[in-house]
Amino acid sequence: MPLHQQNFSRPLSTVAIFGPGLIGGSLALALQDRQPDCRVSLWARSAASAARTAAVFPQVTCDAAEAAAGADLCVFCTPIGAMPALAREIVPHLSAQAVVTDAGSVKGGVVAALEEILGGRFVGSHPMAGSEKSGIEAARADLFEGATCILTPTARTDGGTLTSVQGLWSSVGGRLVEMSPAAHDLAVGRVSHLPHAIASILVDAIARHGDGAEALAGGGYRDSTRIAAGPPGMWSEIFLENKAALLSGLEEFSASLEELKTFILSNDAPALESFLSHAKRVRDTLS
Amino acid sequence: MPLHQQNFSRPLSTVAIFGPGLIGGSLALALQDRQPDCRVSLWARSAASAARTAAVFPQVTCDAAEAAAGADLCVFCTPIGAMPALAREIVPHLSAQAVVTDAGSVKGGVVAALEEILGGRFVGSHPMAGSEKSGIEAARADLFEGATCILTPTARTDGGTLTSVQGLWSSVGGRLVEMSPAAHDLAVGRVSHLPHAIASILVDAIARHGDGAEALAGGGYRDSTRIAAGPPGMWSEIFLENKAALLSGLEEFSASLEELKTFILSNDAPALESFLSHAKRVRDTLS
């Protein structure tokens, strides 16, 4: 995972963002803020969504072909499942130099599908930013400030494509990391998709058996379950798209859980404290 | 769990706090702030701990008998395991009207032990406040502001004892809740001890198998694992003291995990989305 700290200073001239949710909306606001000379348009599928979007970011269109035709960089911020059809829709309208990226949370399948349609002008991205909130109303110009932005170039990616997309995320404050689509899905399955699943399981288990104990909740429960309030449709799609990595993560989690249970069952205070100390040491390395 | 919103206005005159950690230190600072006429002393076991404490709160003593003798309210903020011996040490020195409470995270065993020594002048408390930080250096005068403070009176508790201890937590901003020691341990086992165990397990599982994936972590991993940085010795004691409730919680968690796994394995998107929607609805009821 080489970390790129270079300054990608080539300014972007026209960016079309497809999908005006939290990520797409925040990217539009961030570019407006950081690159005032860059023309940014946001594509929304429906007139209703476009109207909602226009209240936050006025340059909205429902015409994908038009948005794509004028852009030197297209960014897909829709649900992953919608991306291949969108790519097929815009590909006839792209200029020769246009570059395409996405912001999906799973990379393997979708990168393969989009490379098939778009070729070397596409490279996958995943800005590790977000929140339990969703929708254009939650968009913030500083969402990507300091966030890890993973790029997943392959042997097919053109050099110019990578440079443009590095410039995009770098210009909105991202910390760039490169890895293969497969390595991305394994790592992000552990550090993002697994914690989301665990938070939802925790809320579910307590709600079923806790007799309203949530009413007593302190900061620990609140923090550890915050992400369980994320959009269910999006997370369901992510879990199924990254099925293998998430299932491995859940197995590993269950194995650690069984180990902890053994220490508790056998009243093994030293082993229990050593387990918790190890977790603390690891967690303390994050700020 | 009746919630008491009355104003307990009887001022406290002299409070002795035993154990100058995050909770004891914060209680001392909060009383100094909110009840300037109240004399507060902090008892530390060792001279080294007393010296460290004095930098934050100057009224420190290592003489438990002396601290107890002058107090109308004694609050045990030590580890739970140290409380019975401390109670035996101070009981000969308590004035006839003196009241005793504690701030331990588990109530069943320790309430029974302390009632045996102290009788009706004791009632258990548990302020649901804290953080992954520990020690006097992390103490804050506003730690209990808005925090749920659980009191666990029993048939042995004197009425005056309960009123005094209600007044204590109410005066520092706590929201009072009363329940039996056994009901406390069940509920808090679910909503506090279980989330802590789960956060530690999550950190452990990812650290063992994630190949350094933590370096990519976004806000989700950070929030959901924050409490895993709590003091291992304290949490090991809590887990063993509340063993039965925690083990039940871990069983229930595993059952929910298996259910989610089934939905993923069978690509059952509607069931998966419904599971995540239920968790979101429950979590959304908390602010």
The ipTM (two decimal places) reads 0.91
Tell me which of B117, B145, B179 is where a domain ends: B179
Cβ of B191 within 8 Å of Cβ of A224? The answer is no
- Regarding whether A215 and A139 lie in a shared domain, the answer is no
Q: Which residue of A has its CA nearest to B253?
A: A205
Best A198, A253, A283, A287 member to test B by mutation, with max B CBs in 10 Å, is A283
pLDDT for res A12? 76
- Regarding whether A188 and A60 lie in a shared domain, the answer is no
Task: Kindly report the nearest CA distance between residue B140 and chain A, in angstroms.
Answer: 15
Residues B252-271 pLDDT 10s? 999 999 999 999 999 999 99
Task: Output DSSP code: residue A190.
Answer: I
Task: Kindly report the nearest CA distance between residue A198 and chain B, in angstroms.
Answer: 8
Domain at A202, CATH number: 1.10.3660.10
- Regarding whether A200 and A163 lie in a shared domain, the answer is no
Contact A173/B at CB under 8 A = no
Which H or E run includes B43? strand B39-43
Per-residue pLDDT for B19 more than 50?
yes
- Regarding whether A214 and A107 lie in a shared domain, the answer is no
- Regarding whether A153 and A25 lie in a shared domain, the answer is yes
Cβ of A192 within 8 Å of Cβ of B218? The answer is yes
Cβ neighbours of A198 in B, within 8 Å? 198, 202, 224
- Regarding whether B274 and B168 lie in a shared domain, the answer is no
pLDDT for res A6? 46
The region of weakest confidence among A104-113, A203-212, B106-115, B235-244 is A203-212
- Regarding whether B240 and B148 lie in a shared domain, the answer is no
Contact A146/B at CB under 8 A = no
Task: Kindly report the nearest CA distance between residue B273 and chain A, in angstroms.
Answer: 5
Per the CB < 8 A criterion, the answer to whether B117 and B157 are in contact is no
Q: What's the number of domains chain A is made of?
A: 2
Nearest by CB to A225, from B214, B267, B283: name it. Answer: B283
How far apart are the C-alpha atoms of A242 and A245, rounded to whole Å? 6
- Regarding whether B13 and B149 lie in a shared domain, the answer is yes
Nearest by CB to A187, from B192, B213, B226: name it. Answer: B213
CB atoms within 10 A of CB A45: 15
- Regarding whether B139 and B79 lie in a shared domain, the answer is yes
Residue A218 structure tokens:
């302190």
Strands B14-18 and B3-4, how do they pair? unpaired
- Regarding whether B248 and B120 lie in a shared domain, the answer is no
pLDDT for res B4? 44
User: Judged by CB atoms within 8 Å, which residues 74-133 of B form the interface with A?
Assistant: 128-131
Residue A83 C-alpha from the chain's centroid? 14
Cβ neighbours of B216 in A, within 8 Å? 1, 128, 148, 150, 177, 187-188, 191-192
Q: Rounded mean pLDDT of B11-31?
A: 94
Per the CB < 8 A criterion, the answer to whether A80 and A105 are in contact is yes
Domain at B133, CATH number: 3.40.50.720
Contact B192/A at CB under 8 A = yes
Q: Which residue of B has its CA nearest to A237?
A: B269
- Regarding whether A196 and A107 lie in a shared domain, the answer is no
Residues A76-132 pLDDT 10s? 999 999 999 999 999 999 999 999 999 999 999 999 999 999 999 999 999 999 777
Q: pLDDT below 50 — which residues of chain A?
A: 1-7, 9
Tell me which of A154, A179, A204 is where a domain ends: A179
Please say whether the dihedral angle defined by the alpha carbons of residues A132, B202, B206 and A281, taken in this order, is positive or negative: positive
How far apart are the C-alpha atoms of A211 and A204, rounded to whole Å? 12
Contact A2/B at CB under 8 A = no
Strands B148-152 and B122-127, how do they pair? antiparallel
Residue type at A79? P
Contact A239/B at CB under 8 A = yes
**Chain A to chain B, count of Cβ pairs less than 8 Å apart?**
304
- Regarding whether B164 and B120 lie in a shared domain, the answer is yes
Cβ of A203 within 8 Å of Cβ of B285? The answer is no
Best B178, B186, B203 member to test A by mutation, with max A CBs in 10 Å, is B203
Residue type at A187? A
Structural domain boundaries, residue A230: 184-284
Tell me which of B153, B179, B205 is where a domain ends: B179
Cβ of A273 within 8 Å of Cβ of B232? The answer is yes
**What pTM, to 2 d.p., does this model score?**
0.91
pLDDT for res A210? 78
